[in-house]
Structure 1
Amino acid sequence: MDWDQLDMNPRVIAAVKRANIKSVKEILHFSGADLQRLTLLSSTDVQYLLETVSGALREKTVFTALQLFQDKNHSTSQRQKLSLGCPVLDSLLQGGIPLTGITEIAGESSAGKTQIGLQLCLSVQHLYKYGGLESGAVYICTEDVFPNKRLQQLIEQQSNLRADVPHNVVQKIKFGNSIFVEHAADLDTFRECITKRVNLLLSRGMVRLVIVDSIAALFRCEFGAEDSVLKARYLQSFGAKLHRLSSKFRIPVICINQVTDTMDERRSAVQSSPGPMAKSVTPALGITWSNQLLMRLMASRMPQAAGDTSHHSGSTLRMLRVVFAPHLPQSFCYYTVNSEGVKGIKVETSNIL
């Protein structure tokens, strides 16, 4: 919004321009005393300026609970979500990843967790109307080297295959250099990363997605069985910090997690695939970490029976399952991972009874 678009006294606008305040939103970053000093306006004029600017930047001052629930006013953007880059997966999640809160993607090795994370790094850069957030992503690696070659392969494939996205949008992803990679192999480095470097990127508007791959690796060797209380405090602290970043900047936080085998069948566990013979596993880090999450997704590889020819285009069939989420039923869909990325199988999504 330009200054000339505001219905305001020209004398006040001229004073603001002389102070070299270029953005309308920038006004709200200053206190009344600072604006008086910069613009040489009276306190009455400054108050008038602040009220006019704040009124122009919001369409309504009050929303009813029903309006927020129904999301009839688009300025609230309650239903805006980050697309996973696949309509089948988006359908499973009723639009994609929520913009506030921590979403966990748990699963065994080779289930496709990192592949989903990489695809989200590309999806976030698309325009809002294509399910993106028109910004970059920060990818925090805690154990393995960032899979840059795989990312480049996905970029090339999407440049050729995404016919629904304009060419200039794809080029922005390819040449925008909007994925920032951070490495944090221990707890202190991770705390430094999310409180300083990631916070700086978010403050500057350079990223709107944070991915941690993986959260469990930070606690693998740091704590013994006798350190359960200290471990829980660290988990609560990190969860609170990530929640603050998500709420303050309205961004999705994706934490990739590992799983452990469940020995006691009476315990609450997540089966890696449906059926009575399925292997039971549970996400790592326990109930303390589970309480930090908004949504938990479980990724798994489907077991291949002898003579099974149901795999799609030579790719191993996988399953993405909603374990819990406040806005979703427990459900799942199938997907594959190939050179084009993560692609859901177009079959009817099954609800778990």
Structure 2
Amino acid sequence: MDWEHLDLNPRIIAAVTKANCRSAKDILCVSGPDLQRLTHLSKSDVQRLHCAVAAAVRKSPAVTALQLIKGECPALEAGYKLSLVCPVLDRLMRGGLPLRGITELAGESAAGKTQFGLQLCLSVQYPRENGGLSSGAVYICTEDSFPIKRLRQLITQQPRLRPDLPSSLINSIRFSDNIYIEHTADLESLQACVSQRVPVLLKRGLVRLVVVDSVAALFRSEFQADEAIKRSRHLLTFSSALHRLSHCYGAPVLCVNQVTDVVEGPNPGRCDYGLVESKVLPALGIAWANQVMVRLMLRRLEGCVESDERSSAVRKLEVVFAPHLPRADCLCGVWEEGVRGIPDDA
């Protein structure tokens, strides 16, 4: 670390250099009394040194309690979330997706997971007063090609999905221009995407939502059964990058996940997270589960539901765990205009 760039008395800088302290870690990881003995500085000088080094390594400015009370940092308010554009779904999620942390949506094939991701890519582009974030989204595909035809259909059906909004507002948003699509074929390109290209989009304010569809595809295909430790190490690196992006820029992260069959019989090492009667569990095990803040499960049930003389297969969206949500679920369906929850009295 270049001590000369710090706003400190030259006397303090000389003492630090003489003590052979070369990095911020050498200062911040040492207690005040130990640093006094090491540098022969006074208590007040050590306090100034700690403050100067901490300020230099801090990536984002500190936020005071007074700023939070005055509402000067709306992105940090726990009550604000990204809407799912449906009263029933938003009620289940108490407003929508949290702005910070990883939200996982797991389910079997054809359950409708991608439909949620596409719908959120459109929802994020609406103004804050309409449940959005006035920004775009980046959609990372790891297994299938991006469903561009379905996206175009959702865009044309926005007036039907959002009848509460004036058509002038909907027509003023260029939805397709604000969705950035990335295709990653291996873990190396996936890591390069979340560590290099996605931060550029977030920093420029072009996106405020990250969707990964799906997180399990590459980790399942590139590691053998006996490489669990190596896979866990790569998972932690990937999830750390996502957490860093989400917390630095206040951007929700939605990770679509596959499921794995539950093997019958005693298995004391299996953790079902409350899904005792389920025949499938989210993939990637406990190593990935510990990185997720909100876990949702989407299931396709038997039967259909009618709406405006149209039918859809019934889905069940369930909150498995979340720090701010109880265990609950609701029914929903997928129509031309998108995903909509089914009221209890329907």
TM range, smaller chain: 0.7 to 0.9
The residue aligned with 2:343 is 346
Determine helix, strand or coil for the equivalent of 2:311: coil
Determine the C-alpha separation between the residues in 2 that align with 1:197 and 1:61: 27
Q: Give the 3 Å change call, closer, same or farther, for CA 196–297 of structure 1 in structure 2.
A: same
Q: Alpha-carbon deviations, 1:272-294, whole Å to 9, x = none?
A: 8xxx9x65210000000001111
Closer, same or farther: CA 104–175 of 1 in aligned 2, 3 Å = closer
Query: Alpha carbons of 1:311 and 1:269: their partners in 2 closer, same or farther (altered >3 Å)?
Result: farther
State the distance in 2 between where 1:203 and 1:174 align: 21
Summarize deviations over 1:4-34 as a string: whole Å, max 9, x none. xxxxxxxxxxxxxxxxxxxxxxxxxxx999x
Matched, 1:322 2:325: no
- Residue 216 of structure 1 is matched in structure 2 by 216
The one-letter amino acid paired with 1:269 is D
- 1:275-314 alignment to 2 at 5 Å? 279-304=278-303, 312=307, 313-314=310-311
Do the aligned partners of 1:270 and 1:280 also contact (CA within 8 Å) in 2?
no
Kindly indicate whether the alpha-carbon contact (under 8 Å) linking 2:161 and 2:338 is maintained by their aligned counterparts in 1.
Answer: no
Superposed counterparts of 1:32-181, under 5 Å: 62-63=64-65, 73-77=70-74, 78=77, 79-174=79-174, 177-181=177-181
Show the counterpart of 1:186.
Answer: 186
CA 1:126 to 1:227, structure 2 compared with 1: closer, same or farther past 3 Å?
same
CA shift for structure 1 position 168: 3.3
Do the aligned partners of 2:212 and 2:256 also contact (CA within 8 Å) in 1? yes
**In 1, Cα distance between the equivalents of 2:286 and 2:173?**
38
Q: Distance in 2 between matches of 1:154 and 1:174?
A: 13
Aligned partner of 1:269 in structure 2 is 272
CA distance in structure 1 between the partners assigned to 2:216 and 2:187 by the alignment: 11
SS, match of residue 88 in structure 1: helix
CA deviations over 1:242-272 (Å, ceiling 9, x no partner):
0000011010000000001101366443798
* Cα distance in 2 between the residues matched to 1:298 and 1:152: 26
CA-to-aligned-CA distance 1:55-79 (integer Å, 9 cap, x gap): xxxxx97417xx96xxx64334311
Q: What is the aligned residue count? A: 280
Partner SS for 2:297 = strand
| Structure 1 length-normalised TM | 0.74
In 2: Cα distance, 1:61 partner to 1:201 partner = 24
Offset from partner CA, 1:306-348 (integer Å, 9 cap, x none): xxx6555321000100000000001000000010100000117
* Aligned residues of 2:141 and 2:182 also touching (Cα < 8 A): yes
Equivalent-residue separation in structure 2 for 1:100 and 1:194 (angstroms): 16
TM-score, normalized by length of structure 2?
Answer: 0.75
- SS of residue matched to 2:171: helix
Worse-matched range after superposition: 194-203 or 154-163: 154-163
CA distance in 2, matches of 1:221, 1:197: 24
Shift of 1:171: 1.9
Q: Distance in 2 between matches of 1:255 and 1:172?
A: 29
Distance across 2 between alignment mates of 1:201 and 1:61: 24
Task: Give the conservation status (yes or no) of the 8 Å contact 1:269–1:281.
Answer: no
Q: Cα distance 1:301–1:85, how it changes in 2: closer, same or farther (>3 A)? A: same
Structure 2: distance between partners of 1:347 and 1:301 = 17
Whole-angstrom CA distance in 2 between matches of 1:262 and 1:160: 40
Question: 1:189 is matched by which residue type in structure 2?
Answer: S
Q: Structure 1's 207 and 270: CA in aligned 2 closer, same or farther, altered over 3 A?
A: same
How many angstroms apart in 1 are the aligned matches of 2:150 and 2:265?
A: 38
**What stretches of structure 2 of length at least 5 have no aligned partner?**
8-61
Structure 1 position 103, deviation (Å) = 0.3
Give, as a single letter, the amino acid of the residue that structure 1 aligns with 2:321: F
- The gaps in structure 1 that reach 5 residues or longer are 1-30, 34-59, 349-353
Quick one: percent identity of the two aligned structures? 51
1:8-47 correspondence runs (5 A): none
Cα distance between partner residues in 1 of 2:175 and 2:194: 26
Kindly report structure 1 stretches of 4+ aligned residues shifted beyond 6 Å: none
Q: Following superposition of structure 1 onto structure 2, how do residues 192-231 of structure 1 map, counting pairs within 5 Å?
A: 192-231=192-231
Q: CA deviation at 1:167?
A: 2.4
Provide the aligned C-alpha RMSD in A. Answer: 2.6
Change (3 A) 1:240 1:61: closer
